[in-house]
Amino acid sequence: MEIKELGHLVLYVHNIERSVAFYRDVLGWRQVFPDPAQAAGNPLRVPAAAFSAGRTHHELLLIEVGEDAAAVPAGRRVGLYHFGLKVGDTDDELREVLARIREAGVDIVGASDHTITHSLYILDPDGNEIELYVDVPGVDWQSQPHLVAAPIRPLRL
């Protein structure tokens, strides 16, 4: 078997409306299901929403599990640490993202220069950590794979 690409992520969320507003309105994902332009709603009768950046039918699926579902535990644990979303190709674009998420009241929980990427870290409404990053222009990690494990430095935008 050969993995061709990471296809999509599925996240359980407490409240679908709150999470849709975050992923669609704050992060700018295009909602593909249910179609926000149609009043018919969700034909699956499951509180869910799917989003695409245009690469495939959906890269992100959210499924509501209710406010009483257990939260993502803090600290060291087994499971998802974070997922990364490429938001552009330059630090100027990353600065625009920073301004947008600050304007939306989203807290930055980290900012790192990974040599190959410049990254901001935020939390979604359910505590899932998201890395918003740009690849650093001119850094050739394919011919210098050791750069993937370069020491992490503070990000200076």
Residue-wise pLDDT for 45-90, tens only, equals 678 999 999 999 999 999 999 999 999 888 899 999 999 999 999 9
Condensed to tens digits (0 to 9), the pLDDT of residues 85-129 reads 999 999 999 999 999 999 999 999 999 999 999 999 999 999 999
Q: Which whole number is the average pLDDT over 122-151? A: 96
* Predicted TM-score of the model (pTM): 0.91
Task: Single out the residue of 94, 86, 70, 81 nearest to residue 129, CA to CA.
Answer: 81
- The pLDDT value recorded for residue 67 is 96
What pLDDT score was predicted for residue 73? 87
CA distance 108 to 146: 28
Q: Which CATH number fits domain 82-154: 3.40.50.2300, 3.10.180.10, 3.30.460.20, 3.30.360.10?
A: 3.10.180.10
Q: How confident is the model at residue 137 (pLDDT cuts 50, 70, 90)?
A: very high
* Bond into 34 cis (ω within 30): yes
CATH architecture of 9-64: Roll (3.10)
Task: State the Cα–Cα distance between residues 135 and 116, nearest whole angstrom.
Answer: 6
Intervals of CATH 3.10.180.10 along the chain: 9-64, 82-154
